[in-house]
Structure 1
Amino acid sequence: MAKICLHVRVIGRVQGVWFRRFTQQQAEAHGVVGWVRNLADGSVEALLCGEEINVHHVEAWLNQGPELATVAEVIAEPRDWDESYTGFEIRDDAGN
């Protein structure tokens, strides 16, 4: 099966609602590696890498997010496969 990476930006009410932690849980449950972080504009950014079907499962979950979140838009762009990731981490906020 093909391995892919997606760079994702999630827009909406996605900070202060445990979005990053739940994203990490979803990624780990599906064997997806990469990272997630908050951006200064209130959105969340992530890099998802793994088996194509598993990455798309996590991407689909991002469209709804955790119970307290309100997702307005998910923008996903393919990235080159990066085998350097061995787990899924919550990174420090960017630009804050």
Structure 2
Amino acid sequence: MGFRWFTRAKALEIGGLSGFALNLGDGRVQVVAEGRRADCEQLLDWLRNGDTPGRVDGVTEIWDTPRGGYDGFAVR
């Protein structure tokens, strides 16, 4: 299993998050998560410091108004 699947599993473990993890053409992974701020911060902490598969060279976070429209947490 790859990084996107582990990210989805972590989001489901935290609970209350919706969004997706998507491979980008340049090798990066885009993760979009909506939910309570504390839950989003927990996912960010895991992405930065957790036992993630592969190598994480950096995490860029952008906070915005939730847009909704996500059904659960998907791997794209």
Please say if 1:66 is aligned against 2:56: no
TM-score (norm. length: structure 2):
0.86
CA–CA distance in structure 1, aligned partners of residues 68 and 12 of structure 2: 16
Larger radius of gyration: 1
Residue 49 (structure 1) aligned with residue 51 (structure 2): no
Structure with more of its chain in strand, by fraction: 1
| Structure 1 vs Structure 2 CA RMSD | 1.5
**Between structures 1 and 2, the one with greater helix share:** 2
TM-score between both structures, scaled by the size of structure 1: 0.70
Question: 1:83, CA displacement in angstroms?
Answer: 2.6
3-state secondary structure, aligned to 2:44 = helix
Say if 2:68 is the partner of 1:79.
Answer: no
Q: Does 1:22 align with 2:1?
A: no
Identity percentage of aligned residues = 28
Moved more, 78-87 or 36-45: 78-87
